[in-house]
């Protein structure tokens, strides 16, 4: 499994709603993530809205992302969630992730 860590920035004034929506992610979206190889997916957020995400995948991040982009439900989710983020520059959040380089992993 490959481990992927990334960051995004949630608008501070929208953090509460963002958290509420992630307590009830659409079942179709959860199914699409699983089909696309996104396992052990977690999100963590600082008090200023800085979001750290982590997931594991049997394929590369790009392959897992490409599989999600091909899912119709993903386009709907990305459109729904877009107003919550800063700095997307017109791209969906999943295509705007700043992927972090893994520098250590305790096996």
Residue 107, pLDDT > 90, answer: no
pLDDT at res. 54: 98
Instruction: Tell me the average pLDDT across 55-64.
Output: 98
Catalytic residues: 22
Considering the domain 2-100, what is its CATH architecture? 2-Layer Sandwich (3.30)
Contacts of 106 (CB under 8 A, 6+ apart): none
Query: Can you state the angle between helices 72-81 and 27-35, rounded to 10 degrees?
Result: 120
CA distance 104 to 107: 9
- Domain residue extents for the chain: 2-100
pLDDT at res. 51: 98
Residues 36/59, Cβ–Cβ less than 8 Å: no
């Amino acid at each position: 499994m490959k481990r992927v860590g990334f960051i995004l920035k949630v608008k501070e004034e929208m953090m509460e709603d963002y958290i509420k929506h992630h307590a009830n992610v659409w079942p179709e979206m959860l199914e699409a993530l699983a089909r696309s190889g996104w396992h052990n997916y977690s999100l963590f957020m600082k008090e200023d809205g800085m979001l750290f995400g982590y997931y594991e995948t049997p394929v590369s991040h790009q392959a897992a992302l490409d599989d999600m982009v091909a899912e119709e439900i993903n386009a709907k989710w990305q459109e729904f969630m877009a107003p919550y983020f800063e700095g997307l520059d017109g791209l969906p959040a999943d295509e705007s992730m700043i992927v972090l380089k893994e520098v250590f992993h305790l096996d």
